C-alpha cells in the first residue's frame, strides 16, 4: 500500500471515533468537524515524516481538540496555545491518552454521533446527507451527485440539519442501556436507508450512487465492531453484502433491468456472498430472529442457488411468512406472493395480493407483480391494464422499459 493510501485509510477509519469524541468535548458539529479536518492536515504533514502513531484515533482526537481550543481562545482574544511544534510532540502525551481512551469511550462516541445524525427531529432527506457528511466524510459534491441534486442545494440541506441540531438542545451525555438499544434501532435503519439510496439507482445513476452501498456496508461493519454479538447488525450487514453482490448482473448493456431469476450468476461477487453467508449463519445461532436476519436469510437462499431453478421457494415462503408476523406490511405480503406463485401457483398468489390494492395503489411493483400473475393465468386484458398502471408509476426509465417487454409479449399472443 502506498504512503498516501495508508494515511487515507487510517483517517477514514478513525473519522467516526474522532469526530464523535470531539463532538462530546465541544458540543458543536461544526467545531468538531473543523477540528478533525485540522488534525487530518497535521497528520498529512507529520505522519509521512514520523511514521504512523501507535493509535491514529487518539492522535487525531488530541491534536483536533488542541486545535479547536486554540481557535476558541483566539476568538475570545485570549492567549493562544503553545506553538505547533510543542503540540505536535506527542511521544509521551499520546501514550497517556491511549491508555485513557478505551473501547467503551469509542463505542459511546460513535453511537452518539450516529444517533444525532438520525435524530427524529430531522427529516429523512436531511438525516442521510448529514450522516454521509459528518460520519463518513463524503464531500458535499459527492453527496449531491449521489442524490441527483445541485451542490448548493445539498449544502443548504446539510446546513439546515446542523442548525436544527444546534437549536434543538439534543443531549450529549452517554445513553443508558435502554436508550442505547432505542438509538441503535434508529441507527441501523438509517444505515439501511443509505444502502437503499445506492441500491435503488438506475443503470445510468449507478456510477454516482453505488458508492453509497459501499459506505453503508462500511458503517455496518463499524457497528459490528462496536456490537459484535448483536445478531440484527450481523443480519443487516449480511443482507447488504448479499444484495450488493448482485450489482454487476442487475442491468444489461442497454441499462434495462434483469430480474433475479434471469441474472448471470457467474457475475455475482462470490467473496461478498461468502462473507454474507458466514454472517447470517452466525446471527441465526443466537436464536434471536429479527427483520434484517430474516431478509438476509431470504437473500442467502437466492445466493446459495447456483441456478434459478435450484432456489428453495418453499423455505423462502416460510421466511416471508415469519417476516409478516414480525413486521406486518403489504409490501412484505407482496414479496411473499412471488414465492407463493412459485410454490402453489399464480392464482393463489393473485388472491393474496388483490386485497392490498387500495394500500399499494401508488406502488409501481404492486402493479408489475399483479400484471405478471394475471398474464400467467391467461387474463391478458387485465394484465395489460395492470402493466399500463405500472408504467405510469415507474420511478426510472429502466423500470418502465422492463414492463414494456411484458406488454410486447402480450401483443404477440
The three cell numbers locating residue 127: 438525516
Is residue 390 one of the residues assigned to a domain?
A: no
96 and 107 housed in the same domain: no
Least confident of 9-23, 90-104, 262-276: 90-104
> Which of the residue ranges 118-132, 171-185, 348-362 has the most confident prediction, judged by mean pLDDT?
348-362
- Residue 196 neighbours by CB distance under 10 Å: 16
Going from the C-alpha of 305 to that of each of 273, 308, 411, the distances in angstroms are 12, 6, 33
39 and 88 housed in the same domain: yes
User: Is the confidence at residue 409, as pLDDT, over 90?
Assistant: no
The total of structural domains in the chain comes to 2
Is residue 176 one of the residues assigned to a domain?
A: yes
The pTM of the whole model exceeds 0.85? no
67 and 91 housed in the same domain: yes
166 and 77 housed in the same domain: no
Burial profile 273-291: b = 16 or more Cβ within 10 angstroms, e = fewer: bebbbebbeebbeeeebbb
Place 106 in a pLDDT band, splitting at 50, 70 and 90. Answer: low
Whose cell is 394500500? That residue is 359
Residues 6+ apart with CB under 8 A from 190: 114, 117, 118, 127, 128, 131
Burial profile 208-225: b = 16 or more Cβ within 10 angstroms, e = fewer: bbbbbbebbbebbebbbe
**Cβ-contact 349, 375 below 8 angstroms:** no
Least confident of 133-147, 296-310, 386-400: 133-147
User: Is the confidence at residue 92, as pLDDT, over 50?
Assistant: no
Domain hosting residue 191, numbered range:
103-225
For residue 131, the model assigns a pLDDT of: 86
**Cβ-contact 213, 193 below 8 angstroms:** no
120 and 177 housed in the same domain: yes
pLDDT tens by residue, 289-321: 999 999 999 999 999 999 999 999 999 999 999
159 and 53 housed in the same domain: no
User: Is the confidence at residue 331, as pLDDT, over 90?
Assistant: yes
Is residue 47 one of the residues assigned to a domain?
A: yes
Residue that is last in its domain, among 56, 79, 101: 101
173 and 112 housed in the same domain: yes
For residue 296, the model assigns a pLDDT of: 98
163 and 219 housed in the same domain: yes
89 and 39 housed in the same domain: yes
Amino acid at each position: 500500500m502506498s504512503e498516501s493510501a495508508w494515511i487515507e485509510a487510517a483517517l477514514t477509519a478513525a473519522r467516526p471515533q474522532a469526530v464523535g469524541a470531539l463532538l462530546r468535548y465541544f458540543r458543536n458539529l461544526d467545531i468538531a468537524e473543523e477540528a478533525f479536518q485540522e488534525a487530518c492536515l497535521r497528520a498529512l504533514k507529520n505522519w509521512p515524516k514520523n511514521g504512523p502513531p501507535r493509535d491514529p484515533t487518539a492522535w487525531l482526537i488530541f491534536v483536533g481538540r488542541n486545535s479547536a481550543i486554540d481557535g476558541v481562545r483566539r476568538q475570545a482574544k485570549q492567549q493562544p496555545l503553545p506553538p505547533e511544534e510543542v503540540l505536535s510532540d506527542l511521544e509521551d502525551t499520546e501514550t497517556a491518552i491511549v491508555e485513557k481512551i478505551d473501547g467503551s469511550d469509542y463505542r459511546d462516541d460513535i453511537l452518539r454521533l450516529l444517533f444525532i445524525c438520525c435524530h427524529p427531529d430531522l427529516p429523512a432527506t436531511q438525516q442521510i446527507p448529514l450522516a454521509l457528511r459528518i460520519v463518513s466524510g463524503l464531500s458535499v459534491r459527492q453527496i449531491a451527485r449521489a442524490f441527483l441534486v445541485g451542490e448548493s442545494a445539498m449544502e443548504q440541506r446539510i446546513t439546515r440539519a446542523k442548525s436544527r441540531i444546534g437549536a434543538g438542545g439534543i443531549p450529549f451525555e452517554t445513553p443508558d442501556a435502554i436508550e442505547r438499544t432505542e438509538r441503535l434501532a434508529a441507527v441501523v435503519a438509517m444505515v439501511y436507508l443509505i444502502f437503499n439510496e445506492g441500491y435503488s439507482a438506475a443503470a445510468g445513476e449507478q456510477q454516482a450512487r453505488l458508492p453509497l452501498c459501499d459506505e453503508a456496508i462500511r458503517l455496518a461493519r463499524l457497528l459490528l465492531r462496536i456490537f459484535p454479538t448483536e445478531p440484527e447488525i450481523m443480519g443487516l450487514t449480511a443482507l447488504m453484502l448479499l444484495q450488493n453482490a448482485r450489482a454487476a448482473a442487475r442491468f444489461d448493456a442497454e441499462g434495462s433491468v434483469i430480474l433475479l431469476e434471469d441474472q448471470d450468476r457467474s457475475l455475482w461477487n462470490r467473496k461478498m456472498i461468502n462473507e454474507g453467508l458466514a454472517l447470517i449463519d452466525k446471527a441465526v445461532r443466537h436464536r434471536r430472529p429479527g427483520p434484517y436476519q430474516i431478509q438476509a436469510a431470504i437473500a442467502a437462499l437466492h445466493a446459495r442457488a447456483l441456478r434459478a431453478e435450484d432456489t428453495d421457494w418453499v423455505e423462502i415462503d416460510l421466511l416471508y411468512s415469519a417476516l409478516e408476523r414480525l413486521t406486518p406490511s403489504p409490501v412484505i405480503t407482496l414479496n411473499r406472493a412471488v414465492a407463493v406463485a412459485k410454490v402453489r401457483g399464480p392464482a393463489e398468489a393473485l388472491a393474496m395480493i388483490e386485497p392490498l390494492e387500495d394500500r399499494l395503489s401508488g406502488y409501481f411493483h404492486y402493479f408489475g407483480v399483479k400484471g405478471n400473475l394475471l398474464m400467467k393465468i391467461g387474463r391478458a386484458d387485465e394484465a395489460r391494464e395492470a402493466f399500463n398502471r405500472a408504467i405510469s408509476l415507474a420511478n426510472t426509465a429502466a423500470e418502465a422499459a422492463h414492463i414494456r417487454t411484458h406488454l410486447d409479449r402480450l401483443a404477440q399472443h
